Chains A and B, each alone.
Chain A
Amino acid sequence: MKKKRFVYPLALVAVSLLLLLAACTPESRSSSGTPTAATGEEPKVTLDFWTFWGSETRRPIIEKIIDDFNQSQDRIMVKHTYLPFGDIWTKNLASIAAGNPADVIVNDYADVNLRASKNQNTDLSSYLAEDDIESRFYPELWNNVLYEDKAYALPFNTDTRLLYYNKEAFREAGLDPEQPPQTWAELEEYAQKLDKKSENGYEQVGFYPLWGDFGVDSWLINGDGGNGYFDESDQAAINTPGKVATLEWLKSWQDRLGRQTVDAMKADFGSGVSDPFISGKVAMYIQTGTYNTQIEEFGQDLDIGVAPIPEREAGSGHWSSGGGFVVEIPKGAAHPEEAWEFIKYLTDVDAQKYWAMENFDNVANIEAAEDPEANENPVYQASVENLADTKVFQVPLSASGYKDLINPHTDAVFLDKETPEQALEGAEKDVQALMSKNQ
């Protein structure tokens, strides 16, 4: 009977493991279960809402909004699930493929149309037909949630870029701190007055266009009358006179300061107290509206002003660039109608105003964005006003991944390997080839 002596304990282990497993397993939520209320009233629908807002600053804000929604009615119960930024969309894809996605998810503007074309989000047009809320959003943002003229998401937040300038440095250089530069010519003139050079190089650089949060892409929009890389009929419009002139102008800044200076100084830049603008290494700097919270945290003594991005010449437009996030219903979500109710609430004035005031983040709802209470902060107010000049572009489906083709060309310009004309000509050819291949 020796056999039993160890078969028995083995079986015991197996059984106890099973019990442990059963004990540790919560009730399955694979399809957003619908637990019935204890009193036997109408069953409450539970929605699973996925966001990447898990930080100590953002989580309480979004959870307050969810809580308010849950209190506001007794039919729908929203549960917030935090997932790490970036990875959240990996999980979204897997769950859509398996047919048990979240009910609502936060996603980015850039690929709403791509996801729609691949059947990953829900067409909202039937809900909008009954309940037209299009007018509450900035039209620029609304255009980004459309695919074949149907909306597949609702805009939630957005951002915009502004010129921050150091008023103290302006005074030192004999410039009027209430008169920020309006045009590129003024920007150059001011920048040179603000440069402080010593034997060891620059102590302060007045301005360098590609430091900060306004890259070549954004400048090409600014210098080309607010036009992006694609025209209205979704054709590549990269090699335009406006863009060539812009790229030449950007290159001239590097030529004047010297590539070594630009690279060496950039290598020194950090964040927080060693941020180049906050530490006084740069007198004018382009950043998003929320950058102001960093100034408030790390540079309380700074006397700063904000202004729209200077325009190429008077009348060409102070174009800026933006981005942000939408809320959408993944394809195959179990309760699209309730999810619609919730995303409607998320983009309504109360929720949007709360988000704006707690975060100083720009919101997609016009009424909330322009609310006087939220606009008491002057920098926030400037960022809201700037939205009128802010461009957010949808990428044509056939050009998905185009940036990888453009960037090598623009990089080559700053390495003196291509002239601006060559670069944009080459980029346009490459992107056209990609688009014709995908069509």
Chain B
Amino acid sequence: MGRPALSSTGKRKSGEPIDAYNVPVRKRRMKPREVFLFVLLSVGSLLFLLPLWWMISTSLKSPQEIAQYPPTFIPNEFHFENYVHTWQAAPFTLYAFNTLMLAFFAVVGNVLMNSFIAYGFARIAFRGKRFWFSVLLATMMIPGFVTLIPQYVLFSKLHLVGTYYPLIIPQFLGSAFYIFMLRQFYMGIPKELTEAAKIDGANHLYIWARIVIPLSKPALAAIAVFAFNGAWNDFLGPLLYVNDEVLYTLQIGLQSFRGSVQTQWNYLMAGSVIVLLPVIILFFLFQKYFIEGMNLTAGTKG
């Protein structure tokens, strides 16, 4: 900060005395290992940012420039109007509202129900608990595609196809993965706390709402973020269950730029950037919890 910077290689003119300990540039020099790691991580993150940059760059190009060879990394001309055009090409404002609403229910449903169920598995002793817990975990082994058609048939028999219910109701029925995650977290909450409350006359509902939930905010936030992400990016669900274009979501809307013959890449990418934006913002706001969530699943915390 404001100091003369040492050249990164540390080379000096010959003859000049090297006085590393008195150079007031940094309090501590980076060790070679750290430098190596730093470079590796920088290159790694650049590599991961590349597709994102490509998407943004494509979203600002004209169709002619997209087709150009060799491709340009930075657009020659910036076509910001692509974004306006994209938004107007289909009723995206409506789609955004629909998607937000589904995401809202997904977040509420997953946070409330999973923590409720997980509390039972973590704190209440009942017969066959271990058995039911393994049944729960076993459901994670069934790939979603296997249950796709039976689930569709079920909702169809309930006359719910064509509404949002098939997309919302399952969010309130618990998800094995989140339940497992939360149960591990709850196991880490000192028993003394909940038992003291019990002695004071609190029932399970009270303990859950007043003690366990406030203590597990980071875990719940992680689930909220995952659930939002899942609902926001869901394509197959709305595709199968919704029949009316008024109920379409952003992910389906985006597909209208992809045709059987040709794809309007600039609009598709502009739309994708817009749709991705909330997820990126969310990530930066809740970065802490995202990483917390990773830790939870990795089992290093809990």
Q: A residues near B, CB below 8 A?
A: 2-3, 6-7, 10, 17, 21, 24-26, 28-31, 48, 52, 54-56, 58, 81-85, 87, 90-91, 93-95, 97-100, 268-275, 290, 298
Contact = CB atoms under 8 A, between A and B. Distances in A.
Interface centre among A28, A30, A48, A274 (most CB of B within 10 A): A30
B203 A3 contact: yes
A91 to B, nearest CB: 5
Nearest to A3: B206
Contacts of A82: 245, 256
B70 to A, nearest CB: 9
B294 interface: no
A63 to B, nearest CB: 11
B240 A91 contact: yes
B132 interface: no
A344 to B, nearest CB: 24
Interface residues of B, number: 50
Given A21-B164, A48-B243, A290 B261 contact: yes
B18 interface: no
Contacts of A298: 64
26 contacts: A10-B209, A21-B164, A21-B168, A25-B164, A28-B161, A28-B162, A29-B162, A30-B161, A30-B162, A48-B243, A52-B259, A54-B259, A83-B239, A84-B252, A84-B256, A90-B240, A97-B149, A98-B152, A98-B155, A98-B161, A99-B153, A100-B156, A270-B67, A273-B64, A273-B67, A274-B68
Interface string B146-166: 001100110111011111110
B282 to A, nearest CB: 22
Contacts of A58: 259
Contacts of A48: 243
Secondary structure type dominating chain B contacts: helix
B67 A271 contact: yes
A355 to B, nearest CB: 14
A84 B239 contact: yes
B278 interface: no
Contacts, number: 122
A5 B75 CA distance: 59
B159 A28 contact: yes
B63 interface: yes
A272 B67 contact: yes
A119 to B, nearest CB: 15
Contacts of B258: 84-85
Contacts of B243: 29-30, 48, 81
A82 B90 CA distance: 12
B234 to A, nearest CB: 13
A85 B153 contact: no
What 8 A-B pairs come out closest when comparing CB atoms?
A98-B156, A84-B255, A272-B67, A54-B256, A29-B162, A270-B67, A98-B153, A94-B152
A25 B260 CA distance: 32
B275 interface: no
B161 A95 contact: yes
B276 interface: no
A55 B148 CA distance: 28
B165 to A, nearest CB: 7
A48 B162 CA distance: 12
A17 to B, nearest CB: 7
B210 interface: yes
A28 B165 CA distance: 10
B163 A274 contact: no
A26 B259 contact: no
B256 A87 contact: no
A2 B211 CA distance: 14
Nearest to A57: B259
A26 B255 contact: no
Contacts of B246: 26
